[in-house]
Chains A and B, each alone.
Chain A
Amino acid sequence: AQSVTQPDIHITVSEGASLELRCNYSYGATPYLFWYVQSPGQGLQLLLKYFSGDTLVQGIKGFEAEFKRSQSSFNLRKPSVHWSDAAEYFCAVGALAAGNKLTFGGGTRVLVKP
């Protein structure tokens, strides 16, 4: 069975500082990996996805993520955080055969200090 672990429940970062959110997955085959963001009272928005190819993927809002097969990780990064990045971030894993059945991690809540 596939699983996703986000080790950090909360992260506080100063505005303008860099941000890295950790994600580790367990999946037998080549996974499809995603990062979604959820602002308070909102649904989830897709930030970026990895299916295959270049292991460094670029997403919206200046985010990027790197797939490391040897570490079963798919960490999300942003060089300079804006106050509007305060939200909850979810890593998810899927598979082609599973359609839109995604397994989500527990989420990391990001707080941005002025």
Chain B
Amino acid sequence: KAGVTQTPRYLIKTRGQQVTLSCSPISGHRSVSWYQQTPGQGLQFLFEYFSETQRNKGNFPGRFSGRQFSNSRSEMNVSTLELGDSALYLCASSLTGSDTGELFFGEGSRLTVL
């Protein structure tokens, strides 16, 4: 069974640009969550989608957005990139919306903003 797949794995952008990251959950999983990991702030929750609806949102500015498609694949977008957006963005899937916290993580997309 394939795991959570995130693309791209690495990318470099410049300030002011936007970026879209993609996540394919484990087959059959319907919930997708996104986390940002930085050395300074650690792991922070961005948002969670379940059945194409945003179920939870963390404390990030509106520049951070996401969506989920009918096949459960998810994308997150960051607009008007800032240097501080440099981070590892982790996607995690779970089978349903009720298996709280039992997450399967991808290897992440490492974003560098110059």
Contacts and interface: CB of A to CB of B under 8 A. Distances in A.
B33 A101 contact: yes
A100 B4 contact: no
B interface, size bucket = 20 to 34
A59 B43 CA distance: 22
Interface string A6-45: 0000000000000000000000000010101000011111
A101 B58 CA distance: 8
Given A43-B105, A44-B90, A99 B100 contact: yes
B42 A43 contact: no
Nearest to B94: A100
Contacts of B33: 100-101
B45 A102 contact: yes
Interface stretch (B48-56, B60-68, B72-80): B48-56
A90 interface: yes
A10 B35 CA distance: 23
Interface of B: 4, 31, 33, 35, 42-45, 48, 50, 55-56, 58, 90, 92, 94, 97, 100-108
Interface of A: 32, 34, 36, 41-46, 49, 51, 90, 92, 94-96, 98-107
